[in-house]
Structure 1
Amino acid sequence: MKMFLLAAALAIATTSNVVAETPNQHGWIGTETVKTRFGDFEFRNGYPDDASAAKLREVLLISRAVEAYLAQMPAVSWYRTWKGVAAAGDKAPNQLVIWESLMDAQTLLLTGNTETVYGLAAIDLQRDGPVVIEVPPKMLGGFSDLWQEQIAGIGPTADDKGRGGKFLLVPPGYDGPIPEGYLVGHAKTFGVVLGMRGFLVEGKPEPAVALMKSTRIYPLSQASSPPQMTFLNGSGKEIDTLMAEDFQYFADLADLIEREPADIIDSAGRFQLAAIGIEKGKPFSPDTERKAALTEAARLASAMARTNSFASTYPERLVYDDRAWEWLFIGGSASWDPRGYVNTDLRAAFAYVAVGMSPAMVDKVVGQGSQYLSTMRDSEGRHLDGSKNYRLHLPANIPVVNFWSVVVYDSESRSELRNGKPFPSVSQYTDPQSNADGSIDVYFAPTAPAGKEKNWIRTVPGKGWFTLLRFYGPRKEFFDRSWKPDDIVEDR
């Protein structure tokens, strides 16, 4: 009997030990303080106390809001472009904004260039139904929905083969007749941006402007008697197309979700947005506490976006093994899925500094299209400072068919640097001074080096800056890297 009781006692003790050790084996939260970088959270018997539960819900909200901010950045950015263009000038339905004297620093647009004539139009298929756009020849660009997915391309390697033509854009869910004779684009969103660029002729914009003004935009229902076009000269005007970095970002996202088809975002994405209070068919009216949390999330997400764009650690970003120059479009895929999944970090990194995601941005065609290199660092890896003096050496025979340019951007706005001059750039069209061997030095400084005024771009003390080096019609020497630019060096 004693032996039986002893065995039973040992069995109970053994069982008790197993139960007691199980939580440790699985790492379960029991009665303890869970310490994290987001704070300490109190648990008793596996349950959070009221204060910890409230704080954890807030952390989850902010986490989801940050991810939503980064994931939807291409859409919010392009929506702000659509709104900014639509609100300019007379706000006419068939308005085309043309930067007739080129795009200067008065316009707030992500990394616009100063060497081509820009034309932008905001097309509303919800208001107008199917829309006809008569595009002139010799343009480069396309039509994109509000998630920056290309609907149709314009240019030598695009749908119109550079010859221009009549495009017909039809809205989501359209099941009406489609007449013949059009290049048809089926849009996934009601909002569409037309963006096109025309090239200078002997350094002058007038021929491209004249061509661009032959554009016609009108509803298909008015094809028999199209209304008169409205052209707005955007040069020298305060046109703001930039997204916000505070609570307004989420307000814009909510507006966008409300006006566009629900299925433009997948089910998981819709849940993520609904979890922070953005849901199609429901008002976005966060209370004071939630608005404060979303404001904090926007600031945190903006900080992360700047890190993605300006302090990336992706090895694929580097163009050369021995240079600081980076690809503006990392990964070689306009759909951001070169490894079989959409890399939202890389997509957000691009969307934070640029607009106009399209296959043409990554197509590598010798002598056609364009390629872009970017740097925000000097040869020693330090971010560029507007109070310092720098020099960029471009070896002779810059490999382009059309033109090259160096444009400086404000690191805060990511738009052309407002430095007191219309165009913060040096290019093939500005006739910079060449060295004896045909190479060119470009100078960046608050004041011009003596005798180098034509090669100088003024920078602003107290402002960070970065630059894009553009190649329009890049030659094979660009692609095989037998020609490459030097790093930007500080002139002490």
Structure 2
Amino acid sequence: MKMLLMSAMFGAVSAAGFAAEPPDPHGWIGTETVNTRFGDFSFKNGYPDEASAAKLRDVLLISRAMEAYLAQMPAVSWYRTWKGTAAAGDKLPNQLVIWETLMDAKTLLLTGNTETVYGLAAIDLKRDGPVVVEVPPKMLGGFSDLWQESIAGIGPTGKDKGLGGKFLLLPPGYDGPVPEGYIVGKSKTFGGVLGMRGFLEGGKPEPAVALMKSSRIYPLAQAGNPPQMAFVNGSGKEIDTLMAEDVQYFSDLAALIEQEPADIVDTSDRFLLASIGIEKGKPFAPNADQKAALADAARLASAVARANSFASTDPARLVYGDRKWEWAFIGGSATWDSQGYVNTDRRAAFAYLAVGMSPAMVDKVVGQGSQYLSTMRDGDGKYLDGGKSYRLHLPANIPVVNFWSVVVYDSESRSELRNGQPFPSVSQYTGPVPNPDGSIDVYFGPTAPAGKDKNWIRTVPNKGWFTLLRFYGPKEEFFNQSWKPDDIVEAR
């Protein structure tokens, strides 16, 4: 009886007279092989063997690199936009790239539209110090730093109230004099991007282009005698603004961290970046093994980014309870903090598909600004297939003051689909033929239905595609959802 009690208290007694260790309640790793989805790792007496330790360091490096890839995507994407814009044409300082006959599929830009005149300029506050930008009236857009944070908005809801004006962009840490007469914006980064759009008039881009060409960009130090302004026509040009999805991504991130102030990322992110070899003031020089791990991380992170953007399960993504349309800005915030914290998954979902995290693109302003719906699925929940034919029904009285448009994008590049048409879109400006009740049907497929050429967007077999439905100057019926687009349905 006494022995039984002792056994219960101290565990079973071995033949040698010593009590055996009871099962560990903490789950400690002892002498065993730990089997995981990332591999098997061998331990003896709680210590990893040499091969397992090396593999686990790789797992940690890849995990941290993937997190850095997803968290810093807005910055790396915008950095490549900044570089691609600066490299266009003659590569002159402060040049303004204008898509004078609208943006076509030769330009690689995340989900650009085909119905407004785009203007983009790369601004270098490290090279030039404070920079003056003279903005014409009737523009929509703004200035943002390289982390896509707004510096100053342009347009009816922006700092110029749509009237244009002289903006003065100040670099990080600037403490010099600020002359009067400017709309002042303080940038957190030395790199900045001016992005603006001009509206068509009578379906023509020329008036907006002429207005845009009255813009001027020059250092404040040359305000007394500004240099001649350089303009580049981006239409029909092979301009590449897209981020890499291989190990080059981390080289771009390292270059970005090196050129910008150290505190542009917080200390926890600085540690994360340093742990994968990216640290301001130190060369980014991964050895062969590290480079291979980073290449794996980039590929995995790109795959995760696609799943995050194209296969999201976030319930807030859905615009309507009974349809497949999704919000471009999930949660209704351009700063991604509508839940009381920054939701980096939502931010990454946007950044993989688009650029320009501007409040004017998401705020509810009836009759002004813009709103965006997207879908990559048909009404049955299947991904849109370039080899099949589909129809989208838009009920009568589409609720816009300015215009609406439907643009098709390549699911691989997330840029306009290269389909052989001048523009892969149907819009208020392209003259689609309405139905007798005023509604409009838009058709998608490799060939046009008979008599529907004006309402048709060609798709490409063996290519996935998705679309954005844009509302410029959305009316109340858009916001209260008394008007709703149908799902895209397969034409069987």
TM bracket, shorter-chain basis: over 0.9
Which whole-Å deviations, capped at 9, do the CAs of 1:62-110 have from their partners, x for residues lacking one?
Answer: 0000000000000000000000000000111120000000000110000
1:20 positional shift: 2.0
- The code of the aligned residue for 2:353 comes to V
Which whole-Å deviations, capped at 9, do the CAs of 1:219-270 have from their partners, x for residues lacking one?
Answer: 0000000000000000000000000000110010000000000100000001
Distance 2:363 2:136 in 1: 23
Distance change in 2, residues 1:12/1:238 (3 Å): closer
Structure-2 residue corresponding to 1:145:
145
Distance change in 2, residues 1:7/1:115 (3 Å): closer
Distance change in 2, residues 1:434/1:44 (3 Å): same
Distance change in 2, residues 1:49/1:440 (3 Å): same
For the residue of structure 1 that corresponds to 2:489, the secondary structure is strand
Which whole-Å deviations, capped at 9, do the CAs of 1:36-82 have from their partners, x for residues lacking one?
Answer: 10011111111111111110000000000000000000000000000
Structure-1 residue corresponding to 2:281:
281
Structure-1 residue corresponding to 2:92:
92
* Number of aligned residues: 488
For the residue of structure 1 that corresponds to 2:252, the secondary structure is helix
Distance 1:134 1:297 in 2: 43
1:18 positional shift: 8.7
1:421 positional shift: 1.3
**Do 2:96 and 2:121's aligned partners in 1 also have CA atoms closer than 8 Å?**
yes
Q: TM-score with structure 2 length normalisation?
A: 0.97
Pairing 1:20–2:9 present: no
1:391-406 matches, within 5 Å, as 391-406=391-406
Instruction: Name stretches of at least 5 consecutive residues in structure 2 with no aligned partner.
Output: none
Distance 1:387 1:335 in 2: 37
Distance 1:198 1:86 in 2: 21
For the residue of structure 2 that corresponds to 1:63, the secondary structure is helix
Distance 2:20 2:163 in 1: 77
Q: TM-score with structure 1 length normalisation?
A: 0.97
1:307 positional shift: 0.5
- The code of the aligned residue for 2:255 comes to D
- The code of the aligned residue for 1:208 comes to A
- The code of the aligned residue for 1:20 comes to E
Distance change in 2, residues 1:49/1:455 (3 Å): same
Structure-2 residue corresponding to 1:38:
38
Pairing 1:51–2:12 present: no
1:312-331 matches, within 5 Å, as 312-331=312-331
1:64-213 matches, within 5 Å, as 64-213=64-213
Distance change in 2, residues 1:8/1:138 (3 Å): closer
Q: Post-superposition, which runs of at least 4 consecutive aligned residues in structure 1 deviate over 3 A? A: 5-19
Which whole-Å deviations, capped at 9, do the CAs of 1:3-46 have from their partners, x for residues lacking one?
Answer: 9x99999987689999823x621111111111110011111111
Structure-1 residue corresponding to 2:226:
226
Distance change in 2, residues 1:474/1:44 (3 Å): same
Structure-1 residue corresponding to 2:464:
464
Distance 2:332 2:71 in 1: 19
Distance 1:277 1:256 in 2: 14
**Structure with the higher helix share, 1 or 2:** 1
Distance 1:50 1:471 in 2: 59
Which whole-Å deviations, capped at 9, do the CAs of 1:312-341 have from their partners, x for residues lacking one?
Answer: 000000000110000011011111111111
Distance 2:361 2:276 in 1: 33
Distance 1:457 1:207 in 2: 27
Structure-1 residue corresponding to 2:350:
350
Instruction: Name stretches of at least 5 consecutive residues in structure 1 with no aligned partner.
Output: none
Identity %: 80
Distance change in 2, residues 1:36/1:10 (3 Å): closer
